[in-house]
A and B are shown apart, each in its own frame.
Chain A
Amino acid sequence: MPVSKRILLVDDNALVLEMMGRALAKEGFECMKAGSAGQAMELLKDERPDIILSDYHMPEVNGFEFRQNLINTDFKDIPFMFLTSEVDSDAMLEGINLEAVDYILKDTPVQVIVSKINNFLTTVREQHERTLKELSKAAMALNLHSVPQKLPAVTGFELDFWHKSFQNYPGGDFIDFITVDERHTFIVLGDVMGKKWSAWYFSFGFLSYIRAAVRICISEGNFSTKSILQKINSVVYHDPVVNDVLSSLSLVLIDAEDSVIRYSGAGDLPLLYYSSKNDVAREVRSSGMLLGLMPDGDFDEIVLDLSKGDQLFILTDGIIDADTDNGKRTDYNSFVEAVTPFLRKPFADFKASDFLKWKTKEHIDDCSLIYFKKTS
Protein backbone atom coordinates (compact mmCIF):
# COMPACT_ATOMS: atom_id res chain seq x y z
CA MET A 1 0.00 0.00 0.00
CA PRO A 2 1.54 3.31 -1.02
CA VAL A 3 2.00 5.93 1.66
CA SER A 4 -0.52 8.59 0.72
CA LYS A 5 -1.44 11.31 3.12
CA ARG A 6 -4.48 13.24 2.06
CA ILE A 7 -6.24 14.90 4.95
CA LEU A 8 -9.58 16.65 5.17
CA LEU A 9 -9.54 19.51 7.67
CA VAL A 10 -12.88 20.78 8.94
CA ASP A 11 -13.00 23.91 11.08
CA ASP A 12 -15.21 26.99 11.09
CA ASN A 13 -12.27 29.10 12.22
CA ALA A 14 -10.48 30.21 9.03
CA LEU A 15 -7.31 31.01 10.95
CA VAL A 16 -7.05 27.53 12.53
CA LEU A 17 -7.80 25.99 9.14
CA GLU A 18 -5.02 27.99 7.51
CA MET A 19 -2.50 27.34 10.27
CA MET A 20 -3.17 23.60 10.48
CA GLY A 21 -3.16 23.40 6.71
CA ARG A 22 0.27 24.97 6.50
CA ALA A 23 1.75 22.84 9.28
CA LEU A 24 0.42 19.63 7.71
CA ALA A 25 1.45 20.59 4.19
CA LYS A 26 4.99 21.05 5.50
CA GLU A 27 4.85 17.46 6.73
CA GLY A 28 3.92 16.19 3.29
CA PHE A 29 0.15 16.10 3.72
CA GLU A 30 -2.14 17.04 0.90
CA CYS A 31 -4.84 19.15 2.58
CA MET A 32 -8.49 19.54 1.69
CA LYS A 33 -10.06 22.34 3.72
CA ALA A 34 -13.69 22.84 4.66
CA GLY A 35 -15.20 25.65 6.76
CA SER A 36 -18.24 23.58 7.72
CA ALA A 37 -19.54 20.03 7.81
CA GLY A 38 -21.68 20.81 4.78
CA GLN A 39 -18.69 21.96 2.79
CA ALA A 40 -16.80 18.86 3.92
CA MET A 41 -19.57 16.63 2.55
CA GLU A 42 -19.27 18.40 -0.80
CA LEU A 43 -15.48 17.88 -0.89
CA LEU A 44 -15.89 14.19 0.00
CA LYS A 45 -18.00 13.68 -3.10
CA ASP A 46 -15.00 14.55 -5.24
CA GLU A 47 -12.06 13.14 -3.38
CA ARG A 48 -11.55 10.58 -0.66
CA PRO A 49 -9.06 11.58 2.04
CA ASP A 50 -7.02 9.11 4.08
CA ILE A 51 -8.09 10.81 7.30
CA ILE A 52 -10.51 13.47 8.53
CA LEU A 53 -9.57 15.95 11.21
CA SER A 54 -12.63 17.87 12.36
CA ASP A 55 -13.33 20.57 14.89
CA TYR A 56 -15.94 19.78 17.52
CA HIS A 57 -17.55 23.18 18.12
CA MET A 58 -19.00 24.40 14.85
CA PRO A 59 -22.22 26.32 14.17
CA GLU A 60 -25.07 24.46 12.41
CA VAL A 61 -23.61 20.95 12.27
CA ASN A 62 -21.07 20.25 15.02
CA GLY A 63 -18.23 17.72 14.84
CA PHE A 64 -20.16 14.87 16.47
CA GLU A 65 -23.15 15.36 14.21
CA PHE A 66 -20.82 15.44 11.22
CA ARG A 67 -19.27 12.15 12.31
CA GLN A 68 -22.72 10.71 12.91
CA ASN A 69 -23.81 11.71 9.41
CA LEU A 70 -20.80 9.94 7.94
CA ILE A 71 -21.64 6.67 9.66
CA ASN A 72 -24.46 5.99 7.24
CA THR A 73 -22.30 6.62 4.17
CA ASP A 74 -19.42 5.10 2.26
CA PHE A 75 -17.15 7.45 4.19
CA LYS A 76 -17.63 5.77 7.54
CA ASP A 77 -14.38 3.82 7.14
CA ILE A 78 -12.25 6.91 6.78
CA PRO A 79 -10.25 7.34 10.00
CA PHE A 80 -11.68 10.27 11.91
CA MET A 81 -10.11 12.54 14.52
CA PHE A 82 -11.74 15.27 16.55
CA LEU A 83 -9.86 18.46 17.14
CA THR A 84 -11.52 19.84 20.19
CA SER A 85 -11.11 22.21 23.06
CA GLU A 86 -13.75 20.21 24.80
CA VAL A 87 -12.33 18.70 27.95
CA ASP A 88 -15.60 17.35 29.19
CA SER A 89 -15.07 13.61 29.62
CA ASP A 90 -18.68 12.73 28.76
CA ALA A 91 -18.29 14.37 25.36
CA MET A 92 -15.07 12.43 24.82
CA LEU A 93 -16.87 9.23 25.65
CA GLU A 94 -19.64 10.13 23.25
CA GLY A 95 -16.99 10.67 20.59
CA ILE A 96 -15.54 7.25 21.13
CA ASN A 97 -18.95 5.63 21.01
CA LEU A 98 -19.34 7.10 17.56
CA GLU A 99 -16.34 4.99 16.53
CA ALA A 100 -14.40 8.20 16.32
CA VAL A 101 -11.05 6.69 16.40
CA ASP A 102 -9.23 9.41 18.22
CA TYR A 103 -9.33 12.98 19.41
CA ILE A 104 -6.81 15.74 19.94
CA LEU A 105 -7.07 18.73 22.23
CA LYS A 106 -6.82 22.02 20.39
CA ASP A 107 -4.05 23.47 22.54
CA THR A 108 -1.74 20.57 21.70
CA PRO A 109 1.41 21.85 19.92
CA VAL A 110 1.17 21.44 16.15
CA GLN A 111 4.21 19.14 16.01
CA VAL A 112 2.54 16.77 18.47
CA ILE A 113 -0.68 16.86 16.45
CA VAL A 114 1.23 15.97 13.29
CA SER A 115 3.02 13.06 14.92
CA LYS A 116 -0.25 11.84 16.44
CA ILE A 117 -1.86 11.84 12.99
CA ASN A 118 1.15 10.06 11.52
CA ASN A 119 1.09 7.39 14.23
CA PHE A 120 -2.59 6.95 13.76
CA LEU A 121 -2.29 6.51 10.00
CA THR A 122 0.53 4.00 10.49
CA THR A 123 -1.62 1.98 12.89
CA VAL A 124 -4.52 1.96 10.43
CA ARG A 125 -2.18 0.91 7.62
CA GLU A 126 -0.65 -1.90 9.66
CA GLN A 127 -4.10 -3.12 10.60
CA HIS A 128 -5.07 -3.09 6.93
CA GLU A 129 -1.97 -5.06 5.97
CA ARG A 130 -2.62 -7.61 8.71
CA THR A 131 -6.18 -8.11 7.45
CA LEU A 132 -4.86 -8.51 3.92
CA LYS A 133 -2.39 -11.14 5.07
CA GLU A 134 -5.14 -13.05 6.90
CA LEU A 135 -7.36 -13.00 3.82
CA SER A 136 -4.52 -14.17 1.61
CA LYS A 137 -3.81 -16.99 4.06
CA ALA A 138 -7.47 -18.03 3.99
CA ALA A 139 -7.46 -18.03 0.18
CA MET A 140 -4.31 -20.15 0.16
CA ALA A 141 -5.88 -22.58 2.63
CA LEU A 142 -8.87 -22.97 0.34
CA ASN A 143 -6.44 -23.66 -2.48
CA LEU A 144 -7.78 -20.73 -4.47
CA HIS A 145 -5.08 -19.72 -6.88
CA SER A 146 -5.63 -17.60 -9.93
CA VAL A 147 -2.10 -18.31 -11.13
CA PRO A 148 -0.65 -21.82 -11.43
CA GLN A 149 1.70 -23.16 -8.81
CA LYS A 150 3.81 -25.11 -11.29
CA LEU A 151 4.59 -25.24 -14.97
CA PRO A 152 3.40 -28.07 -17.21
CA ALA A 153 5.93 -30.12 -19.17
CA VAL A 154 5.25 -29.97 -22.91
CA THR A 155 7.49 -32.07 -25.16
CA GLY A 156 9.57 -29.87 -27.44
CA PHE A 157 8.50 -26.62 -25.75
CA GLU A 158 9.77 -24.42 -23.02
CA LEU A 159 7.09 -22.60 -21.02
CA ASP A 160 7.27 -19.94 -18.38
CA PHE A 161 5.34 -16.97 -17.04
CA TRP A 162 5.77 -13.82 -15.01
CA HIS A 163 3.04 -12.34 -12.85
CA LYS A 164 2.77 -9.43 -10.47
CA SER A 165 -0.41 -8.39 -8.74
CA PHE A 166 -1.59 -4.82 -8.25
CA GLN A 167 -0.07 -3.44 -5.04
CA ASN A 168 0.31 -7.09 -3.96
CA TYR A 169 -3.44 -7.61 -3.76
CA PRO A 170 -4.66 -10.67 -5.61
CA GLY A 171 -6.39 -9.17 -8.63
CA GLY A 172 -8.18 -9.69 -11.89
CA ASP A 173 -5.51 -11.47 -13.94
CA PHE A 174 -5.77 -15.24 -14.14
CA ILE A 175 -3.46 -17.79 -15.69
CA ASP A 176 -3.98 -21.48 -16.22
CA PHE A 177 -2.33 -24.35 -18.06
CA ILE A 178 -4.64 -27.22 -18.91
CA THR A 179 -2.81 -30.38 -19.90
CA VAL A 180 -5.20 -32.60 -21.85
CA ASP A 181 -2.73 -35.28 -22.87
CA GLU A 182 0.90 -35.45 -24.00
CA ARG A 183 0.00 -33.78 -27.24
CA HIS A 184 -2.41 -31.01 -26.22
CA THR A 185 -1.91 -28.23 -23.68
CA PHE A 186 -4.15 -25.19 -23.33
CA ILE A 187 -2.78 -21.89 -22.13
CA VAL A 188 -5.25 -19.49 -20.55
CA LEU A 189 -4.60 -15.84 -19.76
CA GLY A 190 -7.44 -13.57 -18.75
CA ASP A 191 -7.97 -10.20 -17.16
CA VAL A 192 -11.16 -9.41 -15.28
CA MET A 193 -11.71 -5.68 -15.69
CA GLY A 194 -11.22 -4.47 -12.16
CA LYS A 195 -8.72 -4.72 -9.42
CA LYS A 196 -8.22 -6.13 -5.98
CA TRP A 197 -10.69 -8.43 -4.24
CA SER A 198 -13.80 -8.12 -6.37
CA ALA A 199 -11.86 -8.80 -9.56
CA TRP A 200 -10.02 -11.62 -7.84
CA TYR A 201 -13.29 -13.22 -6.83
CA PHE A 202 -14.65 -13.04 -10.37
CA SER A 203 -11.42 -14.39 -11.83
CA PHE A 204 -12.32 -17.73 -10.18
CA GLY A 205 -15.77 -17.62 -11.71
CA PHE A 206 -14.34 -17.09 -15.16
CA LEU A 207 -11.60 -19.65 -14.66
CA SER A 208 -14.19 -22.28 -13.70
CA TYR A 209 -16.24 -21.56 -16.82
CA ILE A 210 -13.15 -21.73 -19.00
CA ARG A 211 -11.97 -25.01 -17.54
CA ALA A 212 -15.44 -26.47 -17.92
CA ALA A 213 -15.79 -25.28 -21.52
CA VAL A 214 -12.36 -26.66 -22.44
CA ARG A 215 -13.18 -30.05 -20.91
CA ILE A 216 -16.62 -30.23 -22.52
CA CYS A 217 -15.28 -29.39 -25.98
CA ILE A 218 -12.43 -31.89 -25.65
CA SER A 219 -14.80 -34.63 -24.55
CA GLU A 220 -16.71 -33.95 -27.76
CA GLY A 221 -13.47 -34.26 -29.72
CA ASN A 222 -13.55 -30.55 -30.49
CA PHE A 223 -10.14 -28.88 -30.19
CA SER A 224 -11.13 -25.56 -31.75
CA THR A 225 -10.20 -22.58 -29.57
CA LYS A 226 -12.84 -20.55 -31.41
CA SER A 227 -15.71 -22.82 -30.49
CA ILE A 228 -14.47 -23.00 -26.88
CA LEU A 229 -14.55 -19.20 -26.69
CA GLN A 230 -18.02 -19.14 -28.23
CA LYS A 231 -19.25 -21.54 -25.54
CA ILE A 232 -17.67 -19.52 -22.72
CA ASN A 233 -19.00 -16.26 -24.15
CA SER A 234 -22.51 -17.58 -24.43
CA VAL A 235 -22.54 -18.79 -20.82
CA VAL A 236 -21.03 -15.57 -19.47
CA TYR A 237 -23.38 -13.40 -21.52
CA HIS A 238 -26.45 -15.09 -20.09
CA ASP A 239 -25.33 -15.65 -16.49
CA PRO A 240 -26.59 -12.77 -14.32
CA VAL A 241 -23.88 -13.46 -11.71
CA VAL A 242 -21.01 -12.55 -14.03
CA ASN A 243 -22.58 -10.72 -16.98
CA ASP A 244 -21.99 -7.32 -15.41
CA VAL A 245 -18.29 -8.09 -15.19
CA LEU A 246 -16.18 -8.11 -18.32
CA SER A 247 -13.07 -10.13 -18.94
CA SER A 248 -10.51 -10.45 -21.67
CA LEU A 249 -9.16 -13.87 -22.56
CA SER A 250 -6.33 -15.27 -24.64
CA LEU A 251 -6.72 -18.98 -25.31
CA VAL A 252 -3.88 -20.87 -26.96
CA LEU A 253 -3.75 -24.57 -27.70
CA ILE A 254 -0.30 -26.08 -28.18
CA ASP A 255 -0.29 -29.17 -30.36
CA ALA A 256 3.12 -30.62 -29.50
CA GLU A 257 2.92 -33.37 -32.14
CA ASP A 258 2.29 -31.13 -35.14
CA SER A 259 4.20 -28.12 -33.73
CA VAL A 260 1.15 -26.00 -34.31
CA ILE A 261 -0.64 -23.54 -32.09
CA ARG A 262 -4.25 -22.45 -32.32
CA TYR A 263 -5.16 -19.09 -30.86
CA SER A 264 -8.41 -17.25 -30.21
CA GLY A 265 -8.76 -14.07 -28.24
CA ALA A 266 -11.54 -12.10 -26.56
CA GLY A 267 -10.74 -8.40 -26.18
CA ASP A 268 -7.16 -9.36 -25.36
CA LEU A 269 -3.91 -7.72 -26.39
CA PRO A 270 -2.18 -9.04 -29.50
CA LEU A 271 0.30 -11.86 -28.93
CA LEU A 272 3.87 -11.15 -29.88
CA TYR A 273 5.28 -13.84 -32.18
CA TYR A 274 8.98 -14.14 -32.83
CA SER A 275 10.06 -16.10 -35.89
CA SER A 276 13.63 -17.32 -35.37
CA LYS A 277 14.13 -18.08 -39.07
CA ASN A 278 13.36 -14.50 -40.12
CA ASP A 279 14.60 -13.00 -36.86
CA VAL A 280 11.57 -10.72 -36.63
CA ALA A 281 8.82 -10.25 -34.08
CA ARG A 282 5.28 -9.38 -35.10
CA GLU A 283 1.89 -8.90 -33.49
CA VAL A 284 -0.75 -11.57 -33.88
CA ARG A 285 -4.21 -10.06 -33.53
CA SER A 286 -7.44 -11.92 -32.97
CA SER A 287 -10.88 -10.48 -33.70
CA GLY A 288 -12.99 -11.45 -30.68
CA MET A 289 -14.64 -9.00 -28.30
CA LEU A 290 -14.55 -9.08 -24.50
CA LEU A 291 -16.25 -12.08 -22.90
CA GLY A 292 -19.91 -11.46 -22.21
CA LEU A 293 -20.09 -8.17 -24.12
CA MET A 294 -22.18 -9.30 -27.07
CA PRO A 295 -24.17 -12.49 -27.69
CA ASP A 296 -21.85 -13.17 -30.65
CA GLY A 297 -18.27 -12.29 -29.76
CA ASP A 298 -17.09 -12.40 -33.40
CA PHE A 299 -14.27 -14.83 -32.57
CA ASP A 300 -11.73 -16.17 -35.02
CA GLU A 301 -9.02 -18.83 -34.81
CA ILE A 302 -5.45 -18.25 -35.86
CA VAL A 303 -3.20 -21.19 -36.63
CA LEU A 304 0.56 -20.81 -36.51
CA ASP A 305 3.15 -23.41 -37.54
CA LEU A 306 6.09 -23.13 -35.21
CA SER A 307 9.71 -23.85 -36.07
CA LYS A 308 12.56 -24.45 -33.69
CA GLY A 309 13.46 -21.28 -31.82
CA ASP A 310 10.10 -19.56 -32.42
CA GLN A 311 8.66 -17.79 -29.40
CA LEU A 312 5.28 -16.43 -28.33
CA PHE A 313 4.38 -13.91 -25.67
CA ILE A 314 0.88 -13.54 -24.26
CA LEU A 315 0.27 -10.51 -22.06
CA THR A 316 -2.24 -8.41 -20.11
CA ASP A 317 -2.50 -4.65 -20.14
CA GLY A 318 -0.45 -4.00 -16.99
CA ILE A 319 2.64 -4.85 -19.06
CA ILE A 320 2.00 -2.06 -21.57
CA ASP A 321 1.14 0.65 -19.02
CA ALA A 322 3.94 3.01 -18.12
CA ASP A 323 4.40 5.90 -15.76
CA THR A 324 6.04 8.69 -17.72
CA ASP A 325 6.95 12.30 -16.96
CA ASN A 326 3.65 13.30 -18.56
CA GLY A 327 1.57 10.91 -16.47
CA LYS A 328 0.48 7.36 -17.15
CA ARG A 329 0.12 6.04 -20.65
CA THR A 330 -0.63 2.83 -22.49
CA ASP A 331 1.72 1.76 -25.26
CA TYR A 332 2.05 -1.76 -26.72
CA ASN A 333 5.26 -0.78 -28.50
CA SER A 334 6.95 -0.07 -25.19
CA PHE A 335 6.73 -3.81 -24.50
CA VAL A 336 7.93 -4.73 -28.00
CA GLU A 337 10.93 -2.44 -27.65
CA ALA A 338 11.74 -3.80 -24.21
CA VAL A 339 11.57 -7.48 -25.14
CA THR A 340 13.32 -7.25 -28.54
CA PRO A 341 16.91 -7.24 -27.21
CA PHE A 342 16.09 -10.40 -25.20
CA LEU A 343 14.62 -12.50 -28.01
CA ARG A 344 17.83 -14.38 -28.56
CA LYS A 345 18.45 -14.81 -24.85
CA PRO A 346 16.88 -17.06 -22.18
CA PHE A 347 13.50 -15.84 -20.86
CA ALA A 348 15.04 -15.74 -17.37
CA ASP A 349 17.13 -12.78 -18.55
CA PHE A 350 14.01 -10.85 -19.52
CA LYS A 351 12.38 -11.77 -16.22
CA ALA A 352 15.36 -10.17 -14.48
CA SER A 353 15.33 -7.17 -16.82
CA ASP A 354 14.96 -3.59 -15.65
CA PHE A 355 11.72 -3.35 -17.65
CA LEU A 356 9.95 -6.00 -15.56
CA LYS A 357 11.62 -4.84 -12.37
CA TRP A 358 10.22 -1.41 -13.10
CA LYS A 359 6.72 -2.85 -13.67
CA THR A 360 6.91 -4.31 -10.17
CA LYS A 361 7.84 -0.93 -8.74
CA GLU A 362 5.28 1.10 -10.67
CA HIS A 363 2.34 -0.94 -9.37
CA ILE A 364 -0.08 0.40 -11.96
CA ASP A 365 -2.11 -2.73 -12.55
CA ASP A 366 -1.93 -6.50 -12.45
CA CYS A 367 0.75 -7.58 -14.90
CA SER A 368 1.01 -10.98 -16.52
CA LEU A 369 3.23 -12.33 -19.24
CA ILE A 370 3.28 -15.91 -20.53
CA TYR A 371 6.16 -17.07 -22.67
CA PHE A 372 6.75 -20.19 -24.67
CA LYS A 373 9.36 -21.33 -27.11
CA LYS A 374 9.68 -24.24 -29.51
CA THR A 375 12.93 -25.87 -28.46
CA SER A 376 13.22 -28.89 -30.78
Chain B
Amino acid sequence: MILQTTTQQSALVTTIQVKEANLTVSEKFKTELFGLLDTGGKYIVVNFEQVTYVDSSFLGALVSALKHAITNKAEIVVAGLNKDILGLFQLIRLDKAFKIFDTIENAVADKAK
Protein backbone atom coordinates (compact mmCIF):
# COMPACT_ATOMS: atom_id res chain seq x y z
CA MET B 1 0.00 0.00 0.00
CA ILE B 2 1.30 3.41 -0.98
CA LEU B 3 -1.51 5.20 0.79
CA GLN B 4 -2.63 5.07 4.38
CA THR B 5 -6.09 6.47 4.77
CA THR B 6 -8.00 7.73 7.79
CA THR B 7 -11.27 9.55 8.15
CA GLN B 8 -11.09 12.96 9.83
CA GLN B 9 -14.49 14.52 10.31
CA SER B 10 -16.06 13.86 6.94
CA ALA B 11 -12.81 14.09 4.96
CA LEU B 12 -10.58 11.22 3.85
CA VAL B 13 -6.97 11.97 4.68
CA THR B 14 -4.65 9.76 2.68
CA THR B 15 -0.94 9.81 3.37
CA ILE B 16 1.64 8.93 0.73
CA GLN B 17 4.02 6.57 2.50
CA VAL B 18 7.10 6.91 0.32
CA LYS B 19 9.92 9.42 0.24
CA GLU B 20 10.45 9.34 -3.51
CA ALA B 21 7.16 9.40 -5.35
CA ASN B 22 8.24 8.14 -8.77
CA LEU B 23 7.46 5.78 -11.63
CA THR B 24 7.85 2.67 -9.49
CA VAL B 25 4.89 3.67 -7.30
CA SER B 26 2.82 5.92 -9.57
CA GLU B 27 0.61 3.18 -11.03
CA LYS B 28 -0.16 1.78 -7.58
CA PHE B 29 -0.83 5.28 -6.24
CA LYS B 30 -3.26 5.91 -9.08
CA THR B 31 -5.12 2.63 -8.50
CA GLU B 32 -5.43 3.27 -4.76
CA LEU B 33 -6.55 6.86 -5.20
CA PHE B 34 -9.10 5.85 -7.86
CA GLY B 35 -10.25 3.20 -5.37
CA LEU B 36 -10.94 5.86 -2.74
CA LEU B 37 -12.98 7.83 -5.24
CA ASP B 38 -14.88 4.79 -6.47
CA THR B 39 -15.83 3.75 -2.96
CA GLY B 40 -17.52 7.07 -2.42
CA GLY B 41 -14.78 9.43 -1.20
CA LYS B 42 -16.02 12.97 -1.85
CA TYR B 43 -13.33 15.06 -0.22
CA ILE B 44 -9.83 13.59 -0.27
CA VAL B 45 -6.81 15.23 1.27
CA VAL B 46 -3.59 13.83 -0.24
CA ASN B 47 -0.92 14.23 2.40
CA PHE B 48 2.62 14.76 1.05
CA GLU B 49 4.35 15.20 4.43
CA GLN B 50 6.58 12.14 3.99
CA VAL B 51 7.45 12.91 0.37
CA THR B 52 10.67 14.68 -0.59
CA TYR B 53 10.54 14.23 -4.37
CA VAL B 54 7.87 13.69 -7.03
CA ASP B 55 8.46 12.88 -10.66
CA SER B 56 6.22 13.63 -13.61
CA SER B 57 4.70 10.16 -13.82
CA PHE B 58 3.53 10.47 -10.22
CA LEU B 59 2.10 13.94 -10.85
CA GLY B 60 0.46 12.47 -13.94
CA ALA B 61 -1.27 9.89 -11.73
CA LEU B 62 -2.41 12.59 -9.29
CA VAL B 63 -3.79 14.77 -12.06
CA SER B 64 -5.49 11.82 -13.69
CA ALA B 65 -7.19 11.09 -10.34
CA LEU B 66 -8.28 14.72 -10.20
CA LYS B 67 -10.03 14.34 -13.55
CA HIS B 68 -11.70 11.20 -12.23
CA ALA B 69 -12.74 13.11 -9.10
CA ILE B 70 -14.34 15.87 -11.17
CA THR B 71 -16.33 13.24 -13.07
CA ASN B 72 -17.42 11.74 -9.71
CA LYS B 73 -18.29 15.21 -8.36
CA ALA B 74 -15.60 14.74 -5.72
CA GLU B 75 -12.69 16.90 -4.68
CA ILE B 76 -8.99 16.17 -4.23
CA VAL B 77 -6.86 18.66 -2.32
CA VAL B 78 -3.19 18.42 -1.34
CA ALA B 79 -1.38 19.22 1.89
CA GLY B 80 2.05 19.06 3.47
CA LEU B 81 4.10 19.84 0.36
CA ASN B 82 7.76 20.58 1.03
CA LYS B 83 9.30 23.73 -0.45
CA ASP B 84 10.58 22.06 -3.62
CA ILE B 85 7.35 20.26 -4.36
CA LEU B 86 5.26 23.36 -3.68
CA GLY B 87 7.62 25.24 -6.02
CA LEU B 88 7.09 22.60 -8.70
CA PHE B 89 3.29 22.77 -8.33
CA GLN B 90 3.49 26.52 -8.83
CA LEU B 91 6.00 26.30 -11.69
CA ILE B 92 3.72 24.08 -13.75
CA ARG B 93 0.47 25.74 -12.54
CA LEU B 94 -0.85 22.72 -10.68
CA ASP B 95 -1.76 25.26 -7.98
CA LYS B 96 -4.60 26.31 -10.30
CA ALA B 97 -5.92 22.75 -10.43
CA PHE B 98 -5.50 21.77 -6.77
CA LYS B 99 -6.27 23.57 -3.56
CA ILE B 100 -3.03 23.49 -1.60
CA PHE B 101 -2.94 23.56 2.21
CA ASP B 102 0.06 23.83 4.50
CA THR B 103 -1.40 21.42 7.06
CA ILE B 104 -3.84 18.53 7.15
CA GLU B 105 -5.89 20.37 9.78
CA ASN B 106 -6.42 23.34 7.47
CA ALA B 107 -7.31 21.03 4.61
CA VAL B 108 -9.86 19.18 6.73
CA ALA B 109 -11.24 22.43 8.15
CA ASP B 110 -11.77 23.78 4.63
CA LYS B 111 -14.15 20.91 3.92
CA ALA B 112 -16.38 22.11 6.72
CA LYS B 113 -16.75 25.54 5.11
Q: Footprint of B on A, CB under 8 Å?
A: 45-46, 48, 172, 191-196, 199, 243-246, 248, 267-270, 287-290, 293-294, 298, 317, 321, 326-332, 364-365
- In the complex, the answer to whether A194 meets B60 with C-beta atoms within 8 Å is yes
Q: Which partner residue on chain A sits nearest B90 by CB separation?
A: A285
> How would you classify the secondary structure of chain B's contact residues: helix, strand, loop or mixed?
helix
B49, CB-defined interface residue at 8 Å: no
Q: Which partner residue on chain B sits nearest A244 by CB separation? A: B64
Task: Decide: B84 and A290 in contact? CB cutoff 8 A.
Answer: no
- Additional A-B contact list (9), CB under 8 Å, known A199-B57, A329-B84: A46-B1, A193-B61, A195-B23, A290-B94, A293-B63, A317-B88, A329-B52, A332-B91, A365-B56
Count chain B CB atoms within 10 A of each CB in A248, A287, A298 and give the residue with the most.
Answer: A248
Look across to chain B and name the residue whose beta carbon is closest to the beta carbon of A328: B53
Chain A interface, >50% SS class: loop
Contact residues, B45-89 vs A (CB, 8 A) = 52-57, 59-61, 63-64, 66-67, 84-85, 87-88
Report chain A residues within 8 Å CB of B59: 193, 246
A194 to B30: give the CA distance in the assembly, Å.
Answer: 12
Binding site for A on B (CB under 8 A): 1, 19-20, 22-24, 26, 52-57, 59-61, 63-64, 66-67, 84-85, 87-88, 91-94, 96-97
A294-B97 CB under 8 A given contacts A244-B64, A269-B91 = yes
Question: Assuming the A-B contacts A194-B56, A293-B97, are A330 and B92 also in contact, with contact meaning beta carbons closer than 8 angstroms in the complex?
Answer: no
Q: Across chains A and B, which 10 residue pairs bring their CB atoms closest together, nearest first?
A: A193-B60, A328-B53, A194-B57, A193-B56, A267-B92, A195-B23, A246-B63, A330-B88, A329-B84, A330-B84
- Cβ of A327 and Cβ of B97 under 8 Å apart? no
Flag if B97 contacts A330 (CB, 8 Å).
no
Residue of B nearest to A323 (CB): B53
In angstroms, how far is the closest chain A Cβ from the Cβ of B59?
Answer: 6
Q: Are A268 and B92 in contact (CB under 8 A)?
A: yes
* B20 CB contacts on chain A under 8 angstroms: 327-328
A31 to B92, CA, bound (A): 39
Alpha-carbon gap, A330 to B61, bound state (A): 18
